[in-house]
Chain A
Amino acid sequence: MSELETFRAEARAWLEENCPAEMRTPAKGDEDVCWGGRNFVFQSDAQKLWLERCVAKGYTVPDWPKAYGGAGLSPQETKVLRQEMAKLGCRSPLNSFGIWMLGPALLKFGTEEQKVHYLGQIARGEIRWCQGYSEPGSGSDLVSMQTFGEDKGDHWVVNGQKIWTSYADKADWIFCLVRTDKTNKYQGISFLLFDMETPGVTTKPIKLISGNSPFCETFFDNVVVPKHQIVGELNRGWDVAKYLLGHEREMISGMGGDGGVTSIGAAMKAVLSEEPVLRAQMALFDVENLTFRAHGERFMDEWKTGKAHPAYSNLMKYVGTELNKKRNELVMSIGGTQALEWESERSNGGSKARNWLRTKANSIEGGTSEVMLNVVSKRILEMPGA
């Protein structure tokens, strides 16, 4: 047996042994998802146990080094572990912006001290992070941001406002872009980390068209941030941010409902068999969905071996988010009048309609589809012009 197959057998045995039965059923909604953090309330003993066991094994962040709370797995082993988790239907033990976004940036730009401290907390699910990038006047044109950190010797005093901060009201800490030099647009931004309980930080949830409030406005009023809480060099935060946005795009592009290749068509057969045009739309969607999964698999394999173009995640973000919107349009069409229900038991509190509306943000957040196409055109296709 090859080493990888030996690992597969071991991983499977470990999952069989350690993943509680309740954690092998699909999460019904966001309340079933473990986000960790200081204030997180576990929904069940099984959820808590599953997290603790994964933390002990390093499986919340399997590909991170052991010194920072990971399991030190190779990319191939990580892929195998995910395949085995999917086969058993294991839920993710921990969802976290720390794992998906801040972690990779710290691994690349952080000091050894920062890695040991922050990555360990992330791996153990102790601190829940949010991201402070966009501002009311800075959406797609992110570098025009104005939130300013005034140099006070051993600390900065930060004033300003962020918007579209995901789960800011539930987060413990923020990784935040702050202007530290007003004279240089790109090289005048620093990447700071600070506690959301620091005096002067306030959040206000924004109600979206879905009726839910996953995003907040976040206000900074003379917030003191010690100098050692900077990631990367002073005024070079844009490098960190760009690197991290690549990871965010990968994450958002991966949002495909069940995250897999299973067709939603079979469950909707009764409706589809009576509406050939809708069935045809569903069939073409399935072709696109299988294509996107294969595309993602190929991209990840090329990315890990350093063969992918550095801007390629922009393409995946564009394709994946447009596909997810299309999926939800089909879910609504197939669901018909029942999918219109907003506040009923039988519609699970309007989950179809709310999810459908939520997905409209997929092609806006983390860089709009139009900006993604600009980037692909200029950086990958090398089209001329500004």
Chain B
Amino acid sequence: MAMTLNDDQNMLRESARDFMASEAPVTHFRKFRDMGCKDGFSHGLWKQFAEMGFTGILIPEAEGGMGMGQIEAGIVLEEIGRNLSPSPFLTTSVAAVEALKLADKAMRDRWFPGILAGETVIGIAIEEGVKHRPEKIACVAERSGNGFKLTGHKQFVVQGTSSDMLIVAARTAGAVGETDGLTLFAVDKDAAGLSMEAARLVDSAMAAHVKLDGVQVNADAVIGDVDGGWAVLSKMLDAGRVGAAAEMVGVGTGAMDMTFDYLKTRKQFDRVIGEFQALQHRAAHLYGEMEGARSIVLKAQSLMDEGHAKAELYVAAAKAKAGLACNLAVREGVQMHGGIGMTDEYDIGLYMKRDRGLNEFFGDAYYHADRVATMNGY
């Protein structure tokens, strides 16, 4: 396909841009942060997302959704990033939906209506250490009765305590480090033996440490195949990664635009600081980095939507590049704003915090650069 958005996609972008700017701008984020909201997002806004059709953007039309692809989900995510709009969109409507699309009909029927209505939130319980290591999952699911008994711990479960269901990856066979032998489960928030402790993160999002103490689930809680969870997990992770990359394009572009505006207005030494070549060159370089990130993210999205064999490579490269470029944007943003950039009152610091969270989400730039190297044969 051509590496440009088509008319429908441009229209979606316009409506997502208008919606986020009016309903969920940075002031909205600040409001929920300052009230110490235990969810870290507004349920009212999540309902509005549903009214816009965003929550079911990746759900097939036959099941009530918009039946769109990663490019369209990414368009919404970019606007979320630009406005720092807090919502469960990335975890629930992108990652969880991609996993549930591979589940049986009964499970899809159970969860899709709530997602479509903007009532359901789903947490992704994958991480067990401080860094993203999905193949090292040690959480165990033993056969028990009609189903399985889950034991282990998870962390960095974003919006975990606000979730109605957790997608939990556990080992049903094989050794830690192997990709075979994993299974994904849909675990109800009220399941006996499941406990969560929420922590507020640097970007004001809420994330949970989850303890699974012999949590009993029925066989119908399995998403995909027993022992074959890696296929579902990979799909879910790649959707989440390319989604996070798209959101970082939004965060980075938002920070960059704010910074360029500042360069054009702030005066020192009797002139606008944007006249200084030292800053101009850094600005132009940053612009190039963000444009590159935007390009590789679009490429990865379109390859995923095509089901292309190289999609995995490009998703890894996109997550890495978007992470590096967005990180540069927020660092340059704070530095070029000078003292005011260090204040809580000014928005640029909020972008820096959001970047950090998104960079760690489903593998940082170094993790994904390493995967690029492996996939490239060295």
Give the interface segment out of A38-46, A216-224, A262-270. Answer: A262-270
Binds B, one of A138-146, A225-233, A236-244, A377-385: A377-385
A:240-277 near B, CB below 8 Å:
263, 265-266, 268-269, 272-273
B281 an interface residue at 8 Å Cβ cutoff? yes
B20 at interface, CB cutoff 8 A? no
The reply to whether A263 and B376 form a contact with Cβ atoms under 8 Å apart is yes
Give A contacts to B, CB under 8 Å: 76, 263, 265-266, 268-269, 272-273, 279-280, 282-284, 286-288, 290-292, 294-295, 297-299, 301-302, 305, 307, 315, 318-319, 370, 372-374, 376-378, 380-385
In angstroms, Cα B295 to Cα A240, docked, is 30
Contacts A307-B4, A373-B280, A374-B280; A385 near B274 (Cβ below 8 A): yes
11 contacts between A and B (CB under 8 A): A279-B378, A282-B373, A284-B320, A290-B313, A290-B314, A298-B298, A318-B288, A373-B280, A374-B280, A377-B281, A382-B264
Q: A286-B317, A301-B4 are in contact. List 6 more A-B contacts (CB 8 A).
A: A266-B377, A286-B376, A292-B292, A298-B295, A374-B277, A384-B274
A297 and B287 CA atoms in complex are apart in Å by 17
CA distance in complex: A374, B287 (Å): 12
Q: Does B283 contact A (CB under 8 A)?
A: yes
Q: Is B296 an interface residue (CB 8 A)?
A: yes
Which A residue's beta carbon lies closest to that of B377?
A266
* CB atoms of A284 and B296 under 8 A apart: no
A374 and B280 alpha carbons, distance in the complex (Å): 7
Known: A287-B320, A294-B296, A302-B4. A266 touches B280 (CB 8 A): no
Q: How many Å lie between the Cα of A311 and that of B49 in the bound state?
A: 38
Inter-chain contact B321/A315, CB cutoff 8 Å: no
Q: Contact between B296 and A266 (Cβ–Cβ < 8 Å)?
A: no
From 150 to 205 in chain B, residues with beta carbon under 8 angstroms from any chain A beta carbon are none
Query: A290-B313, A297-B299 known; A265 and B288 CB under 8 Å?
Result: no
B369 engages A291 (CB within 8 Å):
no
A378 smallest CB distance to B (angstroms)? 8
Q: Mark B197-236, 1 if CB is under 8 A from A, else 0.
A: 0000000000000000000000000000000000000000
A291 touches B373 (CB 8 A): no
CB distance from A334 to the nearest CB of B (A): 10
- Which chain B residues border A299 with CB–CB below 8 Å? 295
A265-B373, A279-B378, A377-B284 known; A305 vs B4 contact (CB < 8 Å): yes
CB-contact partner of A265 in B272, B280, B378, under 8 A: B378
Q: Does B370 contact A (CB under 8 A)?
A: yes
A291 and B293 contact, CB distance less than 8 A: yes
Bound-complex Cα distance A344 to B271 (A): 58
Q: Is the CB of B293 within 8 A of A282?
A: no
Q: Does B35 contact A (CB under 8 A)?
A: no
Given contacts A319-B292, A373-B285, A376-B284, contact A294 B378 (CB under 8 A): no
Q: A290-B314, A374-B277, A383-B283 are in contact. Are A295 and B292 (CB under 8 A)?
A: yes
| Contact A287:B280 (CB < 8 A) given known A265-B373, A294-B295, A383-B264 | no
Binding site for A on B (CB under 8 A): 2-4, 260, 263-264, 271-272, 274-277, 280-281, 283-285, 287-288, 291-296, 298-299, 313-314, 317, 320-321, 324, 365-366, 368-370, 372-373, 376-378
CB neighbours of B324 from chain A (8 A): 287
Contact B281 A373 (CB under 8 A): yes
**A294 touching B373 by the CB < 8 A rule?**
no
Residue from B3, B294, B296 within 8 A of A290 (CB atoms) = B296
Contact A280 B283 (CB under 8 A): no
Tell whether, in the assembled complex, residue A298 and residue B378 are in contact, meaning their CB atoms are under 8 Å apart. Answer: no
* A381 in contact with B377 (CB, 8 Å): no
Interface contact B280-A377, CB-CB below 8 Å: yes
Chain A residues contacting B272 (CB-CB under 8 Å) are 384-385
A295 in contact with B291 (CB, 8 Å): yes
> What distance in Å separates the Cβ of A367 from its nearest Cβ neighbour in chain B?
13
Measured CA separation A302–B298 after assembly (Å): 13
Known contacts A377-B283, A380-B287: A265-B369 contact under CB 8 Å: no
Q: Which residues of B contact A280 (CB under 8 A)?
A: 366, 369-370, 373
Instruction: Please tell me which one of the listed residues B2, B288, B373 contacts residue A376 in the complex, with CB atoms under 8 A apart.
Output: B288
**Identity of the chain A residue whose Cβ is nearest the Cβ of B324 in the assembled complex:** A287
Q: How far is the CA of A268 from the CA of B378 in the complex (A)?
A: 8
User: How far, in angstroms, from A293 to B225 measured CA to CA in the complex?
Assistant: 37
- Residues A279 and B373 in contact, CB atoms below 8 Å apart: yes
Is B296 within 8 A of A291, CB to CB?
yes
A265 contacts B376, CB within 8 Å?
A: yes
A376, closest chain B residue (CB):
B284
